């Protein structure tokens, strides 16, 4: 009987030991699985952080390039860009191109804002470039004068020149009127000395800035 009892106790102890080993292996396996899942999550988070860092670097690079491009713009283009941004009419907030019409294409007589046939042909060419754009665009037309006359008169004359160009681009070249605005700089931004006849002729000009 004692021998049988000892055998039973031994068998029970062995079963308990084997059960403990099995439980221990199961716990180890679960711990290993949990560690593996944690490692995957950490790796995923690290990947997301790296992606965000790369996107931030790309954004910073784009902003730096944009700042550099803006720094190279003319005063007229910078002003036009700021006004358009303030008005909220831009999608991308950039200058596509700027075109200056002065004595070689659009010849304004002293005190005049009329467009002759050469001027109209030049504006037709300009409108063709604008129509070729695939994106939405916005146009600012800027009128300039020489220093003949007073400040008020030149401001009004510059505005009339810009308005005349806008009117022609709308009626003659079929550009949308609601995508164009005008402003007068009068005689405040000369590109040549007003002391000479040639210089005054260069200052009687229209600048058109195309933005998107």
Q: Say whether both 97 and 201 belong to one domain.
A: yes
pLDDT digits (tens, 9 = 90+) for 48-63: 766 666 655 554 443 3
Please indicate, yes or no, whether residues 46 and 105 belong to a single structural domain of this protein.
no
Predicted confidence (pLDDT) at residue 7 exceeds the cutoff of 80 = no
What spatial distance separates the first Cα and last Cα of the chain, rounded to whole Å? 101
CATH number at residue 166: 3.30.1330.60
| Residue 67, pLDDT above cutoff 60 | no
Same domain assignment for residues 92 and 4: no
Residues 62, 9 within the same domain? yes
Confidence label for 69 from pLDDT (cuts 50, 70 and 90): very low
pLDDT tens column, 85-108: 999 998 899 999 998 876 556 778
Domain boundary among 72, 98, 115: 72
Does the predicted model carry a pTM greater than 0.75? Answer: no
What SS3 string covers 137-172? CEEEEEEECCCCCCHHHHHHHHHHHHHHHHHHHHHC
Give the number of domains in the chain.
2
Residue 146 has pLDDT above 50, yes or no: yes
pLDDT tens-digit series, residues 116-134: 898 899 999 999 999 999 8
Domain endpoint, select from 33, 56, 72: 72
* Whether residue 68 is found in the same domain as residue 81: no
User: In the predicted model, is pLDDT for residue 6 greater than 80?
Assistant: no
**Range of the structural domain that residue 44 is part of:** 1-72
pLDDT higher than threshold 70 for residue 16: no
Same domain, 85 and 173: yes
Residue 143: pLDDT band by 50, 70, 90 thresholds? very high
Q: Are residues 79 and 33 in the same domain?
A: no
If you ran DSSP here, which 8-state letter would residue 109 be given?
P
């Amino acid at each position: 009987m004692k021998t049988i009892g000892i055998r039973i106790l031994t068998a029970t102890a062995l079963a308990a030991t084997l059960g403990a080993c099995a439980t221990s292996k199961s716990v180890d396996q679960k711990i290993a699985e949990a560690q593996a899942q944690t490692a995957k999550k950490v790796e995923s988070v690290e990947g997301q952080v790296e992606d965000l860092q790369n996107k931030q670097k790309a954004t910073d690079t784009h902003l730096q390039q944009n700042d550099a491009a803006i720094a190279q713009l003319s005063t007229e283009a910078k002003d036009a860009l700021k006004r358009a941004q303030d008005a909220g009419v831009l999608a991308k907030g950039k200058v596509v191109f700027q075109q200056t019409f002065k004595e070689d294409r659009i010849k304004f007589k002293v005190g005049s804002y009329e467009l002759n046939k050469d001027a109209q042909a030049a504006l037709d060419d300009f409108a063709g470039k604008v129509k070729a754009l695939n994106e939405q665009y916005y146009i600012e037309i800027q009128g300039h004068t020489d220093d003949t006359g007073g400040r008020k008169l030149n401001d009004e004359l510059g505005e009339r020149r810009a308005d005349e160009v806008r009117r022609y681009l709308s009626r003659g070249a079929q550009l949308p009127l609601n995508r164009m605005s005008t402003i007068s700089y009068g005689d405040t931004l000369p590109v040549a000395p007003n002391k000479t006849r040639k210089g005054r002729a260069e200052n009687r000009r229209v600048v058109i800035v195309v933005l998107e």
